[in-house]
Amino acid sequence: MIPESHPLRQLFQDLVGRHYAEAIGIRNPEVVAYVSHLLAEFCDVDQLHNIHDASNRPLTDVGEMLLESDPVYGPAPSFDRERQVRKHIGDYTLFFAGMFPESINHFRLRRQRLENLVDWVKAGKESYYIVSKFDAFEYAKVAPLFASLSRNFESCVYGLNMVKQDLEEMQHPLIGSDAERNRDLLT
């Protein structure tokens, strides 16, 4: 895991905070902190794939994750497990839809998967909504955060698309400055 004091965490905090405030109007410091923390956590592939089935196989298919989260008809042994898996589904779909939207179709084309039938944005929104309904005891304090993430899911995805663009421009500064110069010439 990336330490709290690592400069990458501050970079994510700054980029998410700027784009969420300026482009989409989300100025909620809890949402900004959560999403920037998510970016840092998902730099570690073990965190990205931390939901496992009963045979300890990491689940990377959103459809399989949805089945895993079901405490009534599925394998989830408790509502706490449902919350854990649903939170991960929200995080996973937000991350991929925001940072790697092109990979969603790649996943679907790779092989027959349950998620071929799943709308990722709907699954993410719904999962955060379900997590927000766990609003008692130890979860009461964070329930409003997940309600906000559910309500603003598409906007959060869009803000992450902008973060991705900034990171690409930082990686290839000449391309980024050429694109900006060309845009200025057209206007």
| Dihedral of alpha carbons 37, 159, 28, 120, sign | negative
Separation of alpha carbons 175 and 171, rounded Å: 9
Q: What is the pLDDT of residues 50-95, one digit of tens each?
A: 999 999 999 998 989 999 999 998 999 999 999 999 999 999 999 9
Separation of alpha carbons 187 and 178, rounded Å: 14
pLDDT: is 37 or 185 the higher one? Answer: 37
Distance of CA 78 to the CA centre of its chain: 24
Separation of alpha carbons 110 and 108, rounded Å: 6
Banded pLDDT at 105 (limits 50, 70, 90): low
Whether the CB-CB separation of 17 and 28 falls below 8 Å is answered with no
Percent of the chain with pLDDT over 70: 85
Whether the CB-CB separation of 101 and 48 falls below 8 Å is answered with no
Q: Rounded to 5 degrees, what are φ and ψ at 52?
A: -120, 155
- CA distances to 32, 43, 125, 132, 144 from 29, in Å: 5, 21, 20, 17, 13
Banded pLDDT at 139 (limits 50, 70, 90): very high
Mean pLDDT of all residues belonging to the chain: 88
| Dihedral of alpha carbons 47, 31, 120, 160, sign | negative
Q: What is the mean pLDDT of residues 109-134?
A: 80
Structure tokens at 83: 């919350």
- Which pLDDT score, from 0 to 100, does residue 187 have? 47
Q: What is the mean pLDDT of residues 167-181?
A: 69
- Which pLDDT score, from 0 to 100, does residue 118 have? 75
